Amino acid sequence: MELREFFRQHPKVALAFSGGVDSAYLLYAAKKCGADVQAYFIKSQFQPEFELADARRLVRALGADMKVICCDVLADPQVAANPKDRCYYCKNKIFDLLRRSAAEDGYTCVIDGTNASDQAGDRPGMRALSEMEVLSPLRLCGLTKDEIRRRSKEAGLFTWDKPSYACLATRVSAGEKITAEKLQKIEQGEKELAALGFSDFRIRLYGEAARIQLPQNQMVKAAEIRSLICGLLKPYFDIVLLDLEGR
């Protein structure tokens, strides 16, 4: 199936929009195919501010509509407890909220940006999407991440080379309770590293320490400015570690 055929069959859709590579291209494709598409951005403690800024920038560029819905995911004890299948409970919460808002707006078909490179076996959130009958056009049409990036570049979308970004909750080890304070420290720490020019990295909590995971080609730079990095991160973390295995 091609995307044009999908949108011919589903001409009115509500899109779970994150501002990332996949949902950005899907919004572009839906508009290009003439679909009536409404984007919904679910703002929770798990999304950093730059994701919302990117989402707003893209919808302006495409002349699309976007609603921002606030969601307190940590109010759900199953999410805050952070079990291994935390994503399942989180997806249930945010997509239930999205579906209800979309239904009020007259949209009964909900789609998301899951692509053909995403493996269902290691993503409990995909089980929630299946149970809630959320459709994934990119996956249904066999579009991989590489293909989506290629098409996005051809379309002139600034997101084409945007690094993949997992939510802030993934920085906290399974079984360790997630709090707003922990997430805020991680977000601020990653903002400091991004301002130094680092990309495609993670700060993971390791007890009271920040464990920085960088691509191998950025290790030398980190070593050269280690004192600067420590100084910038110390307001948020007692100890700053560099993971030599990298990403």
Domain boundary assignment for the chain: 3-161, 179-242
- Chain center to CA of 145: 14
pLDDT tens digits, residue range 65-110? Answer: 999 999 999 999 999 999 999 999 999 999 999 999 999 999 999 9
pTM value is 0.90
Q: Quick count: other Cβ atoms within 10 Å of Cβ 185?
A: 20
53: burial class by Cβ within 10 Å (0-12, 13-18, 19+)?
exposed
**Cα separation of 231 and 74, whole Å?**
30
- The CA-based angle 11-93-119, given to 5 degrees, is 70
Report phi then psi at 205, rounded to 5: -75, 135
Q: Find out if CATH 1.10.8.50 is the number for domain 3-161.
A: no
Q: What is the pLDDT of residues 138-168, one digit of tens each?
A: 999 999 999 999 999 999 999 999 988 889 9
